[in-house]
Amino acid sequence: MTPHGAPNIPTAPGSASTTGHFAVAAGLGDTSRVSDRATLSRIRAFLDTANPPTPCLVVDIDAVSDRAALLQATFPGARVLYAVKANPAPAVVHALAEAGLGFDVASVGEIDLCLANGADPAAISFGNPIKKAADVARAYALGVREFVTDASADLANIAMHAPGSRVTARIAIDAPDSVTPFGRKFGCAPEMAVELLIDAAAAGLRPAGVAFHVGSQQLDLAAWDIAMAAVAKVFAAVADHGVTLDTVNIGGGMGVAYTGPAPRLDDYADAVRGALRRHFPRAGPRLALEPGRIMVAEAGLLRTEVILVSKKSSADDHRWVYLDIGRYNGLAETENEAITYQLALVREHADAVGPVIVAGPTCDGDDVLYQRTSYRLPLDLSSGDRLDVLDAGAYTASYSSVAFNGIDPLRTYCLSGGRLIDEC
């Protein structure tokens, strides 16, 4: 679908109605884009038995481990660094450390989290180019020896406080817009990256390679070719100055099919490998990637309760559906309606549906999730009904505010073998 079209609604196997656990409120379609059935079954069995208060996020750690193995198999020989910001639940980090993955961290807090859950400091990359000198020093003291930079002042801090470390220069690229683009905040011009890497070598650091990010939820496979072309020019330019690089870090950006199509993991891998062959026709550099969304999104389900269903006037065609989850306590990525989640019915409803505007619970006018995107929910939906937000394992709990309007942060339950192993 287009970003503001009507999301598809998968239904239960053998059913054409909008009733039952797999009835998704938003349109009619097949089940091919719903989260893995076994994952949904385990999560919903837990929810049915434990009946935790809503809103809550449930993450199937077995699904996370399976996705990690799939990524490692799809990108053989690549260094896979989980982007911790996507979902920092300790059970997630522990499972990925057990799987032998590395970690892309944005802060000392994330370093502490990774180390506490079994990560080797040598497997951690401080990927945030915006960091205090004190954070560089602390990371180095904790054993981190890999840093990403895009500015001379940051490079100077690394040289002073993390001597001898590997340094990657992040470039800004002119890629197609992703669903949630980064704008101009990160990365520098390729010419500046060349200067940074040459300066890093002169400062006693170890220039490692070039990094980029094509934007989160990137659905255009051409983005990686555009980026790799720029990377190759940086490699060649620094080589002319006697500096040899060994790694290209392609960041994250691989998308998930929320309510519309997204490339398959194999499609992304083919695009990356093809770009690498075209721009590095001889032996190419080693790949590093930083999956976040694609690692955990489909492993998570968020359950929410309907607080209120109302109309603004008797002539209004649209009902307002207010949920106990909103932009400030878990669904931040609905800003500008960028990510359109599938909403699944929990109890059976009559077949009749109608258009709705979906909003969150807070006293903030911006806490409206969907008013341009077409969502249709049962006409008999009422206060106390529950909905499941599918594919919600990424960028939900980690974006939840501490206590806006006095609302608690989003509670996360982690399962393995269908049993609760962690709550945070």
Higher-confidence residue of 231 and 24: namely: 231
The answer on 303 and 243 residing in a single domain is no
Residue 8 placed within a domain: no
105: domain CATH number is: 3.20.20.10
- Of 37-41, 288-292, 388-392, least confident by mean pLDDT is 37-41
| pLDDT the model gives residue 283 | 83
Tell whether the model's pLDDT for residue 316 goes beyond 50: yes
Q: For the residues 53-61, what does the mean pLDDT come to?
A: 98
| pLDDT the model gives residue 380 | 97
Of 296, 318, 353, which closes a domain?
A: 296
The answer on 143 and 41 residing in a single domain is no
**For residue 224, what are the domain limits?**
62-296
Q: Per-residue confidence at 372, pLDDT binned at 50, 70, 90?
A: very high
Q: For the residues 364-389, what does the mean pLDDT come to?
A: 97
The answer on 100 and 85 residing in a single domain is yes
Tell whether the model's pLDDT for residue 136 goes beyond 80: yes
The answer on 417 and 324 residing in a single domain is yes
The Cα–Cα gap between 211 and 168 comes to 6
Tell whether the model's pLDDT for residue 320 goes beyond 80: yes
Mean residue pLDDT of the chain comes to 91
Tell whether the model's pLDDT for residue 21 goes beyond 60: no
Q: Give percent above pLDDT 70 in the chain.
A: 92
Tell whether the model's pLDDT for residue 28 goes beyond 60: no
Residue 380 placed within a domain: yes
- Of 64-68, 131-135, 281-285, least confident by mean pLDDT is 281-285
| pLDDT the model gives residue 184 | 84
Tell whether the model's pLDDT for residue 286 goes beyond 60: yes
| pLDDT the model gives residue 35 | 52
| pLDDT the model gives residue 181 | 80
Number of other residues whose CB lies within 10 A of the CB of residue 409: 16
| pLDDT the model gives residue 26 | 41
Tell whether the model's pLDDT for residue 190 goes beyond 70: yes
Tell whether the model's pLDDT for residue 33 goes beyond 90: no
Please answer whether residues 376 and 10 qualify as being in contact, where contact means their C-beta atoms are separated by less than 8 angstroms: no
Of 253, 279, 296, which closes a domain?
A: 296
Of 276, 296, 316, which closes a domain?
A: 296
Tell whether the model's pLDDT for residue 419 goes beyond 90: yes
| pLDDT the model gives residue 13 | 28
Tell whether the model's pLDDT for residue 31 goes beyond 60: no
| pLDDT the model gives residue 5 | 36
- What is the count of structural domains for the chain? 2
- Of 12-21, 106-115, 169-178, 230-239, least confident by mean pLDDT is 12-21
Tell whether the model's pLDDT for residue 350 goes beyond 80: yes
Residue 118 placed within a domain: yes
Q: For the residues 399-424, what does the mean pLDDT come to?
A: 94
Residue 388 placed within a domain: yes
The answer on 243 and 370 residing in a single domain is no
Tell whether the model's pLDDT for residue 403 goes beyond 60: yes
313: domain CATH number is: 2.40.37.10
